Amino acid sequence: MPKVTVIGVDYNELRLARSRARTGAPMLKGDLLGLPFADGTFDLILCNHVIEHIPDDVGALRELARILKSDGLLLIGVPNEGCGLARLRNHVLQRSILTSTDHVHFYTADLLTERIRRAGLRPRGEIRREGFFVPHLRLAYIVREYRLGRAAMDALARLFPAQCAGLLLAAVHDGPK
């Protein structure tokens, strides 16, 4: 087994403390637009359900590309809130979400891919899709509590991939650093 070092970064001290307590891994306070690491530091970066909160998402992705080794891999996950079912939820069924969410981007697979490319990264493989977007938060919670409900959501996601709940993408540098 290769030696693995895990380092977490967040701007929120409470989340950092919780992560330190759970993992024992080093957790640093930082801003995704100016990370405290040298160029080409990391072989692998996981950024899951983060960039939808950052107004300058391309700038954040460029910063992740900066600290990624030239042969490194960025794994990025975002909610698929630009899909039709999410728009139905946000604009018709649960309009209050638009006033309570701190999401500033509502990604689709195409938008995520476009932002990745603008940041100087290149998708590696196809976008992976997770679950099915249930257009009501309470109903989604109830359905996912049961194995049969989760299986049904996975089957629906395979049938209607554009309406999946989440998008996962691996990206590499577009060219040499």
43-46, long-range: CB within 8 Å, 24+ apart, which pairs? 43/69, 43/71, 43/72, 43/73, 44/72, 44/73, 44/74, 44/75, 45/72, 45/73, 45/74, 45/75, 46/75
Buried b (16+ CB within 10 A) or exposed e, 28-43: eebebeebebeebebe
Cβ pair 33, 56 in contact under 8 A: yes
pLDDT in tens, the chain (177 residues): 678 888 999 999 999 999 999 988 899 999 999 999 999 999 999 999 999 999 999 999 999 999 999 999 999 999 999 999 999 999 999 998 888 888 999 999 999 999 999 999 999 999 999 889 999 989 999 998 999 999 998 899 999 999 999 999 999 987 654
Q: What is the pLDDT of residue 176?
A: 57
**CA-CA distance, 107 to 53, in Å (whole number)?**
11
Residues 8, 29: Cα–Cα separation, whole Å: 9
Integer angstrom CA distances of residue 59 from 21, 37, 87: 30, 16, 26
Residue-level pLDDT at 47: 96
* Digit-coded pLDDT (tens) for 5-50: 889 999 999 999 999 999 888 999 999 999 999 999 999 999 999 9
What pTM, to 2 d.p., does this model score? 0.89
Confidence at residue 34, expressed as pLDDT on a 0 to 100 scale:
94
pLDDT of residue 175: 62
* Domains assigned to the chain: 31-173 (3.40.50.150)
